[in-house]
Amino acid sequence: MHYFPLSLPFLLLLLFLFIFLVTLVEVGILSYAYQRIGINQRYVFSLMLFSLLGSYINIPIFELPPEQVISNSYVDLFGIRHIIPHVQEWPGTVVAVNVGGALVPFFLSIYLTVKNKLYGLAFVGVGIVTFLVHQLAYPVKGVGIAVPFFTPPLASAIVGLVISRKYAPALAYISGSMGTLLGADITNIDKIRGLGAPIASIGGAGTFDGVFLTGIIAVLLAGFWSSRDRGTSLAP
């Protein structure tokens, strides 16, 4: 099941933001950002790129009872066009997992939690973002569950800084990505039936943009605090 959940212009915008972020780190403006996240620089960007490209792939999990579905259309949410794929002889809504928007963030969040031993802090952060995202998530005809794209990155940044400034970048990524998947998709999976969405993808259309932007915010936080701490350590 292959299709990009967002329209080409917004996908190109996300790609541009990603390239811009890589450039900032490479030229030293966000030096040592990857150290604050807790993973090697080359792997951080490789995983983010894989997340962007992986948004094209959805792995089916199960199928809901047959119903009339919307096909070959789009829905505009907060200025972002979400694509409804073209399907033929589709019996009903297929619930799937998006590789780039769900699997990559899930495994990376688990890795960061274990590596930095953030079990309790991560639990609190994910819980807060899950609650907030769940309150703002809503069902959209033809798409599934959607959440304002600016909510996950902003909420995760605030939560990360409030809970622990030392581990703010890693917590921001963990809280934002896992909180979005849980608060938007998992806890609202019972609302999918009747929306006419041919594919309801966990981490796909409606949530992928927020999850990916959360990764960008995490790296920016990492760069900001690493630069700030270095400046403090050099001060007389």
Instruction: Tell me whether residue 2 is in a domain.
Output: no
Whether residue 1 is contained in a domain is answered as: no
**pTM score, whole prediction:** 0.80
Please say if the pLDDT value at position 59 is more than 80.
Answer: yes
Mean pLDDT of 93-103: 88
Residue 232 has pLDDT above 50, yes or no: no
- Give the lowest-confidence range in 33-47, 85-99, 193-207: 33-47
For residue 50, is it within any domain?
Answer: yes
pLDDT, position 235: 41
Domain of 118 in residue numbering reads as 8-234
> Quick one: pLDDT at residue 223?
63
Q: Is residue 178 part of a domain?
A: yes
| CA distance readout (Å), 170 to 10, 77, 137 | 26, 28, 24
Is 145 within the bounds of a domain? yes
Average pLDDT, the chain: 77
Confidence of residue 189 (pLDDT cuts 50, 70, 90): confident
Assign 230 a pLDDT band (cuts: 50, 70, 90).
Answer: very low
User: Count of CB atoms within 10 A of residue 65's CB?
Assistant: 8
User: Given a cut of 60, is residue 73 above it in pLDDT?
Assistant: no
- How many domains would you assign to the chain? 1
The predicted pLDDT at position 225 comes to 58
Residue 139, both tokens: 């069902």
In a domain, 55, yes or no: yes
User: Is residue 3 situated within a structural domain?
Assistant: no
Q: Is residue 81 part of a domain?
A: yes
**What's the pLDDT score for residue 35?**
61
Is residue 42's pLDDT more than 80? no
Does residue 2 carry a pLDDT above 70?
no
